[in-house]
Amino acid sequence: EVQLVESGGGLVQPGGSLRLSCAASGFTFSNYEMNWVRQAPGKGLEWVSYISSGGSTIYYADSVKGRFTISRDNAKNSLYLQMNSLRAEDTAVYYCARYLVVGATFDYWGQGTLVTVSS
């Protein structure tokens, strides 16, 4: 069974940093591209970042470019999101999502971790 478990969320002050993790199991993690998608409270979904299976290709949404860094450790079956210079508008539940090349879609999602940026 595919499982994605996010962790690392919490309350952080504006300008602060936070590192999210996503532990994957139930599939060969190193074979799959991965993404982060977020959802602000009461709002819709917003794609944040993509990383290829080997980590060599990375994309970011304009809203986080230059502030967030996606990475992965295939030996640890883990995906990460380093978030710096956090703003109030970054407050959201952050989901890691497995990418399915056929269909360019997100086929499995974790349960999410809440990041709150507030003073």
Partner 1 sequence: QSALTQPASVSGSPGQSITISCTGTSSDVGGYNYVSWYQQHPGKAPKLMIYGVTNRPSGVSNRFSGSKSGNTASLTISGLQAEDEADYYCSSYTSITTWVFGGGTKLTVL
Q: Which residues lie near partner 1 (CB under 8 A)?
A: 35, 37, 44-47, 50, 59, 61-62, 95, 100, 102-112
Q: Closest CB to partner 1 among 29 and 36? A: 36
Supply the minimum distance, in Å, between the C-beta of residue 39 and partner 1: 8
Q: Closest CB to partner 1 among 71 and 106? A: 106
Task: Report strand pairing: 18-25 vs 78-83.
Answer: antiparallel
DSSP 26: S
Q: Closest CB to partner 1 among 74 and 108? A: 108
| Listed residue (111, 98, 8, 1) closest to 53, CA to CA | 98
Q: Closest CB to partner 1 among 71 and 114? A: 114
Residue 70, helix vs strand vs coil: strand
CA distance 101 to 42: 29
Supply the minimum distance, in Å, between the C-beta of residue 111 and partner 1: 5
Supply the minimum distance, in Å, between the C-beta of residue 118 and partner 1: 21
CA distance 53 to 57: 8
